[in-house]
Every structure is written in structure tokens, then in C-alpha cells.
């Protein structure tokens, strides 16, 4: 479907004319770059899979297609998750926070994983804090810890070298 078709069918409410926090009209607040953060989470386990951004066009496409479509800040283009890898995210629900400036996209993660590094989730490392942080050597940087079971697919085979 052409983007113009989607734009004419899905119209967001004017934030200045609706009760954003208590009303039922969808009036997403995009930042100064025209983006809104979208946290993709597994719809059953609620495991965080990845944090990406959507612009108005990719949000409309996500709503229309029922598959996650993001905006790549590094490539400056629309990015249909899984178009290259086959690891599509089938949308089960889109949640919006109270002031409509952040989204949670509950998805069925198809394929081995969401992360381009080969991990199931982009959140595969943890940041030490408290006693664990105090136990790290002083004067150096903070050492991240593995937080998952490791790589679940060969990223180079899926995305090519230098992905």
C-alpha cells in the first residue's frame, strides 16, 4: 500500500484540541526530529526486545500492516523490521503512555531474534549497580555483564558482513 493511502486513512488527533492524558483520541507526540520512541516487547513474556523510533509514516504503516515498521535514525529511512532478516514482528497490541510521547509495541517476534548482533533481544547485557558495581576494579570503565543465553543466530549469515 502506498504511504499516501495510509496517510489519508489514518489521521492522528490534533494535540492542541484533545485531552491527551484522559481522552480517547490518539494524538502521538513526536519529538523535535519527528520521532517517538517505541519499545518492542514480547506479547506473552513482556521481555523487552528492542527500542526503536517511529515517525508518523512508520507508525501509520505499523498500524495498517500489523507488522512493526520503524524509522532508522542512522540510515534516515523507513525500516520494516524483518524485511532483510525474515525476523518480522507481528504486532499484537500498541500501548501509548499517558502523555502519548512513548509507545510499547507488543509483538510476536518471528524468527530467531530481534537483535542484529544475533541475540534474541537487544537487551542482552546488564549494567552493574550497588554491590556489584563496588566489586569492579576502581579507575577503569564499567564492565557490562551478559544477561541472556548468548547468540541465537548467525548475524553475518542473515545480514552479511559489516552489518
- The answer to whether 110 is annotated as binding is no
- In the three-class reduction of DSSP (H, G, I as helix; E, B as strand; rest coil), residue 40 is classed as strand
Q: Is 148 known as a binding-site position?
A: no
Residues in the chain: 163
Q: What is the mean pLDDT of residues 139-154?
A: 94
pLDDT for position 109 = 97
Would the annotation count 154 as a binding residue? no
Give yes or no for a contact between 159 and 116, defined as CB atoms under 8 angstroms apart. yes
pLDDT at position 84, please? Answer: 86
The number of distinct structural domains making up the chain is 2
Distance CA 29, CA 127 (A): 30
Task: Give bridge partners of residue 39 from the DSSP assignment.
Answer: 51, 104
Claim to verify: residue 107 and residue 123 sit in the same structural domain: no
- Final residue belonging to a domain, choices 70, 93, 111: 111
Of the residues 94, 111, 128, which one is the last residue of a structural domain? 111
- The verdict on 27 and 87 lying in the same domain is yes
Q: Is 31 annotated as a binding residue?
A: no
pLDDT grade for 150, boundaries at 50, 70 and 90: very high
**Structural domain containing residue 148:** 118-163
Strand-strand pairing, 103-109 and 36-42: parallel
Q: Does 91 share its domain with 140?
A: no
What is the rounded distance in angstroms from the CA atom of residue 109 to the CA atom of residue 112?
8
The rounded distance, in Å, linking the Cα atoms of 50 and 123 is: 7
The string of pLDDT tens digits covering residues 88-144 is: 999 999 999 999 999 999 999 999 899 999 999 999 999 999 999 999 998 889 999
Please give the residue that has the higher pLDDT: either 140 or 51.
Answer: 51
Listed residues 111, 127, 147: the one ending a domain: 111
80-90 tens-digit pLDDT: 999 989 999 99
Place of cell 490518539: 26
Read off the pTM: 0.90
Identify whether residues 42 and 72 lie together within a single domain.
yes
Q: Indicate if 107 and 122 belong to the same structural domain.
A: no
User: Do both 24 and 82 map to the same domain?
Assistant: yes
Distances (CA, A) of 102 to 28, 30, 56, 93, 113: 8, 9, 13, 14, 23
Do 22 and 74 lie in one domain? The reply is yes
Whether residue 122 is annotated as binding a ligand: the answer is: yes
Same domain flag for 15 and 82: yes
DSSP code, position 14: P
Which CATH number is 11's domain given? 3.10.20.810
* SS3 state at 5: helix
Amino acid at each position: 500500500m502506498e504511504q499516501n493511502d495510509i496517510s489519508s486513512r489514518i489521521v492522528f488527533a490534533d494535540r492542541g484540541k484533545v485531552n491527551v492524558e484522559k481522552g480517547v483520541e490518539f494524538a502521538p507526540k513526536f519529538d523535535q526530529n519527528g520521532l517517538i520512541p517505541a519499545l518492542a516487547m514480547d506479547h506473552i513474556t513482556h521481555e523487552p526486545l528492542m527500542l526503536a523510533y517511529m515517525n508518523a509514516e512508520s507508525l501509520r504503516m505499523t498500524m495498517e500492516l500489523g507488522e512493526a515498521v520503524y524509522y532508522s535514525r542512522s540510515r534516515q529511512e523507513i525500516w520494516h523490521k524483518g524485511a532483510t532478516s525474515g525476523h518480522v514482528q507481528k504486532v499484537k497490541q500498541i500501548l501509548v503512555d499517558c502523555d502519548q510521547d512513548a509507545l510499547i509495541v507488543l509483538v510476536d517476534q518471528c524468527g530467531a531474534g530481534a537483535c542484529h548482533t544475533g541475540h534474541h533481544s537487544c537487551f542482552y547485557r546488564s549494567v552493574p549497580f550497588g554491590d556489584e558495581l563496588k566489586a569492579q576494579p576502581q579507575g577503569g570503565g564499567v564492565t557490562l555483564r551478559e544477561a541472556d543465553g548468548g547468540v541465537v543466530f548467525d548475524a553475518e549469515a542473515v545480514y552479511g558482513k559489516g552489518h
